[in-house]
């Protein structure tokens, strides 16, 4: 890719701001990342494959999901611009993934080789700190989600979703949000009617 394109990217801006990587660092790291365009509905990872990259979403929107034996799709995570997604455990333990990663908008994605993190950590200590923080934060969000699924009704979970991800409400079809919340599209439709009624 063009040097100039890199400098303009969210990817560059994100890691230079958050983790203090500079031009020279990116130069060094060139072997460990690659920009790719992913068309709408294209899979990046399928169950059974071993996940080989961390994905940074430069543009667009990805989803991370599983399929049950009846073919039902269960969305574990949405990843819009500036989000990282991957199947950490498949990658880390070199085991076949149980999950899928798919572009639900035409997307530009940075594929980061696992060594990207190792090498970037060597270049800047701040990078390791930032990476560690990200991992801790993702544990926090996972726990919070479990707590919501254990303790809240569908309506409460939807209200929480609206508060946490207001930007996704506009971009993601309702049936996908329903899948994320663990309910059917029909139920979500009724929940929304309830909420609309409440606000009078």
- Judged by the rule CB under 8 A, the positions of this chain that interact with a second copy are 66, 68, 72, 74, 76, 88-89, 92-93, 98, 133, 135-140, 142-143, 145-147, 149-152, 179, 182
Write out the two tokens for 171: 């971009």
Judged by beta carbon distances under 5 to 8 A according to partner kind, the member of DNA, a second copy, none in contact with residue 137 is a second copy
Judged by beta carbon distances under 5 to 8 A according to partner kind, the member of DNA, a second copy, none in contact with residue 187 is DNA
Q: Min. distance of Cβ 177 from DNA in angstroms?
A: 8
**158-to-20, 55, 90, 178 alpha-carbon distances in Å:** 37, 27, 30, 9
Q: For binding to DNA (CB under 7 A), which residues are involved? A: 153-155, 173-175, 182-193
Q: Min. distance of Cβ 159 from DNA in angstroms?
A: 12
Nearer Cβ to a second copy (146/169): 146
For residue 19, give every residue at least 6 positions away whose Cβ sits within 8 Å of its Cβ, in sequence order, or none. 120, 124, 126, 127, 129, 130, 131
d(CA 117, CA 123): 10
For residue 195, the SS3 value is helix
Q: Min. distance of Cβ 67 from DNA in angstroms?
A: 14
Residue among 89, 91, 101, 106 nearest 36 (CA) = 106
Q: Min. distance of Cβ 68 from a second copy in angstroms?
A: 5
């Amino acid at each position: 890719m063009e040097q100039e394109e890199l400098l303009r990217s969210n990817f560059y801006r994100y890691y230079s701001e958050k983790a203090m990587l500079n031009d020279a660092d990116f130069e060094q790291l060139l072997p460990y990342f690659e920009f790719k365009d992913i068309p709408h509905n294209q899979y990046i990872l399928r169950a059974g494959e071993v996940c080989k990259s961390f994905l940074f979403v430069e543009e667009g929107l990805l989803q991370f999901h599983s399929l049950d034996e009846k073919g039902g799709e269960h969305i574990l995570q949405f990843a819009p611009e500036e989000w990282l997604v991957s199947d950490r455990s498949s990658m880390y333990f070199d085991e076949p993934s149980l999950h899928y990663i798919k572009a639900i908008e035409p997307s530009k994605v940075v594929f980061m080789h696992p060594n990207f993190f190792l090498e970037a950590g060597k270049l800047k200590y701040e990078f390791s700190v930032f990476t560690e923080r990200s991992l801790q934060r993702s544990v926090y969000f996972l726990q919070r989600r479990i707590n919501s699924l254990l303790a809240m009704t569908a309506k409460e979970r939807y209200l929480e979703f609206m508060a946490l991800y207001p930007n996704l409400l506009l971009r993601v079809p309702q049936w996908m949000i329903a899948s994320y919340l663990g309910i059917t599209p029909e139920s979500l439709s009724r929940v929304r009617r309830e909420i609309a009624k409440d606000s009078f």
